Structure 1
Amino acid sequence: MYLEKRKINGVDHFFIMESYTEGGRLKRRTLYELGPEPEKFIVYPGGNSFYVHESIELGILEKGYSVDTFELEALMWEFVNPRLRMVLKQPDKKKTHGYMSRAKLREAQAGLHEFDKRRIHFLRFGVIDQSDIEKRPYRFFNVLIGKSRDEIECMIDERERKLKKNQLKTYVYTIFNLQKYFKDRETALKNPVFLNQEKLEDAFLNELCSLNRDEGFIGEKRTTLHPYLVKYFIMFYENRFPTYQTQGHAHQRREKFFYMPRETSSDMSIRKACALLGLSVEEYNRMTKKELSRRFKRLAHKCHPDKGGTNGEFVELCKAYESLLKAKS
């Protein structure tokens, strides 16, 4: 089980979700809708104690799904009164896979996506050099096993919120493995701030579009940028590299950052895409990919939601750029 947060009419609503296997594929299903006030399901019988209202467990059982009371308590822990959380020990919601040899770990982790492993690795160590990912089957990658794409994204979202703002660009640089585009390995691994930034932007857009086309990651064919990935575009362009690179983030204070736009799915014509970027078809035809990229980046900053634009405008602009870039390929 895991928690998912969705915005409905501008208000956060919480859902208890579950990953399950069907036809050899991992999918998700809703077990219970908690609504905008999940804390109302926490009952305090007196003293330093609490329990989760039985309506949740009964509601899940009535749907024909099983539920573990202790796992449910661990899931609802964040909604318990903060004062009580200071007194009580947090329930353990970690699933252990027992001891595994390296060979068994490699076998168990064989189907994990590299992008997921890169994200988990950085969120744990905070370092750019991830050259050991394929050589060493880290045990903490096991948190990815048996989870649907949605559950993985919810878990990683929660961890990404703890990143410090000055880590965000380094985070995106690392998880998209952008250092591989540069011959100067020492600078690429230690001080990406000194790299050719135009080449870096081109590398990022190339990797972002490539991941968006990867059905092994998204699980479907896409003609628009998936909402899972739009946040990384924002992180990359709205943040700067620190003037020096640290060797990790074990002792750093952290702050919250997360944004998830709504999804759009339909493709658009070249004429409409040009109009969204303020171009005539003739101007577009004369443009190089590099010139198109520059125009897109400039407009993306202007219509970003934090600068007065809307989520829909931003996603439409991304969609228009993808269509025009694809037409030039």
Structure 2
Amino acid sequence: MYLRLVREGSGYRYILRETYRDNECWKFRDLMDLGKDPAEYIEYPGGCGFYFKPEIEETLQEKGVDYTSEDLEKAFFPFLDPYVRQILEKFSNHRSIHSPWKSFSNDELYAHQQDLHSFDRRRMHFLRVGRVDIGDLEGRPWKFLNILLEKSRDEIEHTIEEMEKMLRPHEVRLYIYTALHLQSYFPAHLLRNHPIGLDPERVDSYFLEELCRLNADHRFFKGMDVPEDGSLHPFLVRYAVMYFDHEFSGGSLDNYIKEFFRRREFHHRNKVTRSIPTVEACKVFGISVETFKSMTRKELIQLYRQCAKKAHPDKGGDHETFVRMTDAYECLLAKK
């Protein structure tokens, strides 16, 4: 069982749901509408004790749901009184939690994970590891995927949405870039794992292409009804909003450039990047000081990205020119 937040127009409500097995497919069903505040269904007799209002158990019994008190506690946990929740967290840290998959062999576990969609695999890998270069996630079992096993598509999305709340703003767009495996569109590109250095229009175009492809993938929506008019499913609408509401961070490219210099710095190892006057730095990019002052930080980054692609040594450019351009960029960026 799990509590699913359902948005309706400008409002929302919580639904108590259950995943169940239907032949060879995992589906979900609504058990009870809990309104806007599930906490209203929790009673506190005193101390650290609590119990759920009778109508919840009565509803579950009427629907023939097989559940335990721990199942309800887990579902309602975020809505418990903070003090009670803290006590339960301390208790759970000292009790042994047995994973139902612990006794499975690698072959058995791999067989169960075969049903997981590649989009789920890539999302979980980034959320657990935080890497754009995901390598090959196929051909072997991964323990971090066990949390998605025997769940309906709706419960999988619920689980991942909760984990996505831990993403920092500068990680969001990079996360979606990785989850949709957009680096596959730049197989030989030097910056395929550093999307801030790629053509933004091409990246946006590939993002929309992959999102539409996923929207038409019946395997991803297995066990669910897909809109027949071809409109974007709400599960994916949120990724469109997340993608265009955030930008790629410059950190990945900055780290790449530093690593690039470290590997190629055969001479002048103790040389410190000198400070370049604004006028001189602007000349490197062929702009006036007035133009620079009117530019936003984002526009400066785009200008550097365009110039760096032409001057990059791996693209036939001159090493010294690229170094000077990067020094000028860092000096100008510091002023923004």
* TM score, norm. by length of structure 1: 0.69
Structure 2 CA distance for aligned equivalents of residues 232 and 91 of structure 1: 36
Structure 1 residue 244, shift from structure 2 partner = 1.2
* Residue type at the aligned position of 2:165: R
Structure 2 stretches of 5 or more lacking a match?
254-336
Deviations 1:76-95 (A, max 9, x none): 11111112322332676985
Structure 2 CA distance for aligned equivalents of residues 107 and 7 of structure 1: 35
Answer yes or no: is the 8 Å Cα contact 1:70–1:91 preserved in 2.
Answer: no
Structure 2 CA distance for aligned equivalents of residues 13 and 105 of structure 1: 36
Structure 1 CA distance for aligned equivalents of residues 190 and 53 of structure 2: 55
* TM score, norm. by length of structure 2: 0.68
Partner of 2:136: 132
Change (3 A) 1:100 1:211: same
Answer yes or no: is the 8 Å Cα contact 2:227–2:233 preserved in 1.
Answer: no
Change (3 A) 1:7 1:226: closer
Correspondence 1:240 to 2:259:
no
Structure 1 residue 185, shift from structure 2 partner = 5.0
Answer yes or no: is the 8 Å Cα contact 2:132–2:174 preserved in 1.
Answer: yes
Q: How does 1:51-90 map to 2 (within 5 A)?
A: 51-89=51-89
Partner of 2:4: 4
Structure 1 residue 53, shift from structure 2 partner = 2.5
Equivalent residue in structure 2 for 1:204, among 195, 204, 207: 207
Structure 1 CA distance for aligned equivalents of residues 106 and 37 of structure 2: 44
Structure 2 CA distance for aligned equivalents of residues 177 and 185 of structure 1: 14
Change (3 A) 1:186 1:49: farther
Partner of 1:224: 231
Structure 1 residue 46, shift from structure 2 partner = 1.3
Answer yes or no: is the 8 Å Cα contact 2:18–2:29 preserved in 1.
Answer: yes
Q: How does 1:297-308 map to 2 (within 5 A)?
A: none
Change (3 A) 1:113 1:158: same
Structure 1 residue 100, shift from structure 2 partner = 2.5
Answer yes or no: is the 8 Å Cα contact 1:74–1:90 preserved in 2.
Answer: no
Equivalent residue in structure 2 for 1:143, among 139, 147, 164: 147
Partner of 1:168: 172
* Residue type at the aligned position of 2:131: V
Deviations 1:15-36 (A, max 9, x none): 1101112242221111222222
Equivalent residue in structure 1 for 2:106, among 86, 102, 107: 102
Answer yes or no: is the 8 Å Cα contact 2:195–2:248 preserved in 1.
Answer: yes
What percent identity do the matched residue pairs reach? 36
Answer yes or no: is the 8 Å Cα contact 1:14–1:35 preserved in 2.
Answer: yes
CA RMSD of aligned residues (A): 2.2
Partner of 1:284: none
Q: Secondary structure at the match of 1:45?
A: strand
